[in-house]
């Protein structure tokens, strides 16, 4: 089945694919993570970036915002951060004798929630409405957030002292969880070579805008028209159901997780130049779309099982449509 793409879709695809090369001017060897961020933008989804300190998570998001010419704000999540510090609050204006709303950093296109697990649940919950409803309610009055609006949150997977585990309800709001790896030797040599030549990670003047909001909107419309065969839809459902029936998992994937996998597979198929989704697209996005939505049983963790490992095993057990 062939779906007619909207006019300008090919140009939008080329512009979004050029993002990887542009971000690479600031960040070495993280093309897969940048692609995941672009997929989230196409699907109006949010991303959880997990990696040890020093792997350029913050720099990558800043460079992506510059390459897309999007508004960018960063919030350092700390134990004393209050909900109003994120969403904004009413401030009394002595000149008018009235309360005026002062927007918080959440009113932006690309919000970097740095070390999100270092702030208490009350402040973490301040993001729930923004992430799901694309609005902020203060004193009962809803205020719409700009479009696009994407939260990119980071967390450190090895340091747990002074952190607050993200509740399942919040984890489920993230469309993708991307694991940012340490660079291989040749990439690390290139990183050090750039720094030896004078590279300044705080100066992104070399990163130019290669895509516009119009490109992103055109791409979103095109990706939404990518055909998904009934057999592929059933395949996604079977994967989700397999996680719920796994004896090693105490929490499986909800229907929201299945729809996230469907949307991500569509976006990846469109970026790959196809107007239909294949089972391989689903397999490629299964880990980032589902790894944070499953919970292992304690006995499975004691045996050394991981969410990625169990998902890989489930993908081999679920029949692939032909």
CA 43 from centre of chain: 10
φ, ψ for residue 111 (rounded to 5)? -105, 120
φ, ψ for residue 183 (rounded to 5)? -70, 150
CA atoms of 12 and 259, how far apart (whole Å): 24
Q: Are 1-219 and 226-322 the same fold in CATH?
A: no
Determine which of 16-20, 38-42, 124-128 has the lowest per-residue pLDDT on average.
124-128
Which CATH number describes the domain made up of 226-322?
A: 1.10.8.80
DSSP 321: P
Please choose, from the candidates 202, 182, 160, the residue with its C-alpha nearest in 3D space to the C-alpha of residue 51. 182
DSSP 320: P
**Contact call for residues 215 and 72 (beta carbons, < 8 A):** no
Q: Give the DSSP per-residue string, 269-293.
A: HHHTT-SB--HHHHHHHHHHHHTTT
- What is the per-residue pLDDT across 240-261, written as a single tens digit (0 to 9) for each? 999 999 999 999 999 999 999 9
CA atoms of 179 and 57, how far apart (whole Å): 10
Query: How does residue 2 score in pLDDT terms, banded at 50, 70 and 90?
Result: very low
Query: How does residue 121 score in pLDDT terms, banded at 50, 70 and 90?
Result: confident
Q: Give the DSSP per-residue string, 156-188.
A: -SS--TT--PPPHHHHTT-SEEEE-PPPPHHHH
For residue 217, the SS3 value is helix
Please choose, from the candidates 215, 119, 127, the residue with its C-alpha nearest in 3D space to the C-alpha of residue 170. 127
Q: Is the peptide bond preceding residue 148 cis, with omega within 30 degrees of 0?
A: yes
For residue 63, the SS3 value is helix
Domain boundaries of the chain, sorted by first residue: 1-219, 226-322
**Contact call for residues 64 and 112 (beta carbons, < 8 A):** no
pLDDT of 5:
42
Taking the CA atoms of 86, 37, 12 and 286 in sequence, report the sign of the dihedral they define. Answer: negative
Q: For the purposes of burial, counting CB atoms within 10 Å of the CB of 90, is it exposed (0-12), middle (13-18) or buried (19 or more)?
A: middle
CA atoms of 120 and 124, how far apart (whole Å): 6
Inform me whether the pLDDT recorded for 202 exceeds 90. no
pLDDT of 159:
67
- What is the per-residue pLDDT across 123-156, written as a single tens digit (0 to 9) for each? 888 888 888 889 988 777 888 999 899 999 998 8
Q: 1-219: which CATH number, 3.40.640.10, 3.80.10.10, 3.40.50.300, 3.40.605.10?
A: 3.40.50.300
**Contact call for residues 242 and 45 (beta carbons, < 8 A):** no
Structure tokens at 64: 């992506």
**Contact call for residues 268 and 10 (beta carbons, < 8 A):** no
CA atoms of 239 and 283, how far apart (whole Å): 10
Mean pLDDT of the region 158-186:
85
């Amino acid at each position: 089945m062939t779906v007619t793409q909207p006019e300008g879709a090919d140009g939008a695809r080329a512009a979004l694919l050029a993002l990887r090369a542009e971000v690479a001017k600031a960040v070495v060897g993280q093309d897969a993570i940048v692609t995941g961020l672009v997929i989230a933008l196409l699907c109006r989804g949010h991303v959880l970036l997990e990696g040890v300190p020093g792997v350029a998570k913050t720099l990558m998001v800043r460079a992506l915002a510059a390459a897309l010419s999007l508004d960018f704000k960063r919030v350092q999540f700390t134990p004393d951060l209050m909900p109003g510090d994120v969403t904004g609050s009413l401030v009394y204006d002595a000149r008018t004798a009235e309360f005026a709303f002062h927007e918080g950093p959440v009113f932006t296109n690309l919000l970097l929630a740095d070390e999100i697990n270092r702030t208490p649940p009350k402040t973490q919950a301040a993001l729930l409405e923004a992430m799901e409803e694309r609005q902020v309610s203060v004193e009962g009055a809803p205020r719409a957030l700009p479009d696009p609006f994407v939260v990119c949150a980071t967390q450190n997977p090895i340091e747990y002292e002074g952190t607050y585990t993200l509740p399942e309800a919040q984890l489920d709001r993230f469309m993708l969880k991307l694991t940012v790896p340490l660079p291989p030797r040749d990439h690390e040599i290139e990183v050090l070579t750039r720094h030896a030549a004078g590279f300044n990670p705080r100066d992104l003047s070399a990163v130019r805008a290669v895509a516009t909001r119009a490109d992103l909107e055109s791409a979103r419309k095109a990706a939404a028209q990518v055909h998904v065969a009934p057999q592929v839809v059933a395949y996604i459902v079977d994967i989700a159901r397999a996680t719920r029936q796994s004896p090693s998992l105490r929490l499986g994937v909800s229907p929201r997780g299945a729809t996230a996998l469907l949307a991500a597979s569509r976006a990846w198929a469109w970026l790959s130049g196809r107007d239909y989704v294949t089972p391989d697209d689903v397999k490629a996005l299964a880990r980032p779309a589902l790894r944070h939505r499953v919970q292992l049983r304690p006995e499975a963790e004691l045996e050394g099982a991981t969410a990625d490992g169990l998902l890989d095993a489930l993908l081999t057990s679920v029949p692939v449509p032909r």
